[in-house]
Structure 1
Amino acid sequence: MASLAADDLLLARDLVASGRDDRELARACASGTLVRVWPGAYVQAGVWHALDPREQHRRRAVAALVTRRKDGLLLSHESAALVWGLPTWGWPAGPVELVDPTARRGTSTARLRIRASPLPLEERATRSGLPVTSLDRTVTDLLLSRSRVQAVVLADHLLHSGLSTRERLRALLAVRAAARRRRTAAWAVEFGDPGGESPGESVSRVVAHDAGFVVPELQVPFSDGDGLIGVVDFAFPVPDEPDRLVLGEFDGDVKYRGATYRHGRTPEQVVQDEKSREDRLRALTSTAGFVRWTRRDIADASRLPDKLRRAGVARKR
């Protein structure tokens, strides 16, 4: 099991075997040199604080596996989702999640949840050197255990990326027909849309739906006399005006700070380019309104609906 440890994960048993003692580890933590990320597992403080929450959770998950005195455990649910590269919304904030195929009952603490569940071989996998539930099993577990919004975020990602199809997701849920949250999961699968490119867009769509707004088209390209302007996240139809649309954009932090999106531009250049793009979109004869919102607007159930209403987005009749 020790081979599963991340390169930057320091195990107390290895440090003690090399001549260091528990008091030295305690002093290193007290001085801020090391961070104790799990009982018996440490990471250099500089490395730890540079990690995003997903990678911090990953280190804890690896530590939980390598410090347990039992073989056969697998990462599951959100911990497995992180290893599979599935999107997150509102987590990882909970415990590391494992499954024990041989146990009769599970255990749960604020830091670690171990479920007792039989796992056939086809539902077990190894990814990045870590034992995890298979992608299908991970997806099914998440759809049946997470919130309605989180289930839509997952469904959108799977459909957009081509990792799964609606038919496949329906089949996975059919196998677990007796699951308590199957109806909610089934709704999320049907509501899922391959046009959902980010978790923020998926959550926005749920909020707009719950507030009764018309169904938007997703990822719609627009052009003018100078060529392609760009692809707009949401295009809300205007009732009785088939050629008119209210355009909407979800602005995630990555748009202005993510290096991949900026393509070498400074954040200031991105802002200026976005302003120019918005001006061109507003100038189109088909544009009946334009609205932007952020993660803060979808965290409050009233903020996004208010913005959409003021921009002229119609409600369903």
Structure 2
Amino acid sequence: MDEPHVLLRARLLAEGWSDAELRRRRQSGELVAVGRGGYLPADDPRLTTAAAAHALRIESGEPLRADDSVISHVSAAVLHGLPVWGLPLGRVHRTRDRRTGGRRTPTAHLHTAPLDAEDVTSIDGRLVTAVARTLADIGRTEGFEQTVVLADAALHRRLLDAAALRRVLARTSGWRGAPPARRALGFADGRSESVGESRSRVAILRAGLPVPDLQWEVSASHAWLGRVDFAWPGVVGEFDGRVKYGKYLRPGQDAGDAVFAEKQREDRIRDEGLRVVRWVWDDLRWFGEVAERLRRAFAAAR
């Protein structure tokens, strides 16, 4: 069943509501304001997710909306369904094909920049920057790690290919922020399967460790043992996100069964003479200890 649309003030007033009634329902907690002149019931589950709430603000409209603009930057990433880890979601972003006239408020940012036909697509009737252009714009304005997370996901989901990235980078090569965008998008790899794996790749790079192989298949003489997230000669690395244990549960299994099965799998990998290093979400904030464990494993595997 389709989720309900945002209740727009103009439509509610046309249907006989009054501003006083809207105000009372907001004060009682029955309605929550979403964006400019948009409302939803307070128990709408989309309000609990930052990306979903941002999409609702896009639907309700924003003060800097312009008829000749398209949804862009992080707002476009939200509509494309990409993981917007670490990106600020307080402002709705739009871009118009002009040289000047950009503006910014606490809730909206209107950018000005050239827009080619290849840079624009449509999602549910809204004009939005295409995936490649969205990644280039975010790469020019946001951090390396956040851009890598987005680009890895886009490539993994086959929302674009490397050729599309090269074309958009060529078109924006002289723009402000183009060098960091080129670096982040050049580092992207569609074999990365999650935000945690993408962040791990960045952490490995920043620690000065050797570049790992991704999704490496481990086979023994008697059986295929599965894939590991990262691999170096004699060493494998696994990002241990909680979701991993629930993602591939067989009928009748619970999370404890999956954890036990993963432990058995790791034991079999070690039996093949490979050293296993694991890390979790908290380790990605301060990767130094994991980096040292990896270096010790490299030295022991020689």
TM-score, shorter chain, exceeding 0.5: yes
For the residues of structure 2 that align with 1:300 and 1:93, how far apart are their CA atoms?
25
For the residues of structure 2 that align with 1:189 and 1:102, how far apart are their CA atoms?
25
Higher deviation after alignment, 35-44 or 159-168:
159-168
Per-residue deviation at 1:303?
Answer: 4.5
For the residues of structure 1 that align with 2:223 and 2:216, how far apart are their CA atoms?
15
2:61 partner SS: helix
For the residues of structure 2 that align with 1:72 and 1:171, how far apart are their CA atoms?
24
Residue 172 of structure 1 corresponds to 168
Give the 3 Å change call, closer, same or farther, for CA 156–128 of structure 1 in structure 2. Answer: same
Residue 267 of structure 1 corresponds to 255
Residue 29 of structure 1 corresponds to 26
Per-residue deviation at 1:47?
Answer: 1.2
Per-residue deviation at 1:203?
Answer: 1.5
- Counterpart of 2:249, as a letter, is R
For the residues of structure 2 that align with 1:69 and 1:85, how far apart are their CA atoms?
22
- Counterpart check, 1:277 vs 2:268: no
Residue 13 of structure 2 corresponds to 16
Structure 2 segments unaligned to the other structure (5+ residues) = none
Residue 240 of structure 1 corresponds to none
For the residues of structure 2 that align with 1:199 and 1:172, how far apart are their CA atoms?
24
For the residues of structure 2 that align with 1:69 and 1:213, how far apart are their CA atoms?
46
Residue-pair matches, total: 298
- Counterpart check, 1:216 vs 2:212: yes
Per-residue deviation at 1:301?
Answer: 4.5
- Counterpart of 1:305, as a letter, is A
1:262 partner SS: coil
- Counterpart of 1:251, as a letter, is D
1:99 partner SS: strand
Give the 3 Å change call, closer, same or farther, for CA 7–101 of structure 1 in structure 2. Answer: farther
Residue 75 of structure 2 corresponds to 79
2:231 partner SS: strand
Within 5 Å, give how 1:36-75 maps onto structure 2.
Answer: 36-48=33-45, 51-64=48-61, 70-75=66-71
Higher deviation after alignment, 168-177 or 97-106:
97-106
Which of 188, 194, 200 is the equivalent residue of 1:204? 200
Per-residue deviation at 1:103?
Answer: 8.2
Say if 1:140 and 1:173, in contact at 8 Å, map to a contact too: yes
Give the 3 Å change call, closer, same or farther, for CA 194–133 of structure 1 in structure 2. Answer: closer
Residue 105 of structure 2 corresponds to 109
Residue 239 of structure 2 corresponds to 250
Residue 232 of structure 1 corresponds to 228
Residue 302 of structure 1 corresponds to 288
For the residues of structure 1 that align with 2:88 and 2:241, how far apart are their CA atoms?
18
Per-residue deviation at 1:149?
Answer: 1.4
- Counterpart of 1:254, as a letter, is V
For the residues of structure 2 that align with 1:167 and 1:125, how far apart are their CA atoms?
17
Give the 3 Å change call, closer, same or farther, for CA 194–134 of structure 1 in structure 2. Answer: closer
Give the 3 Å change call, closer, same or farther, for CA 164–19 of structure 1 in structure 2. Answer: closer
For the residues of structure 2 that align with 1:93 and 1:51, how far apart are their CA atoms?
13
Give the 3 Å change call, closer, same or farther, for CA 50–186 of structure 1 in structure 2. Answer: closer
Per-residue deviation at 1:49?
Answer: 5.6
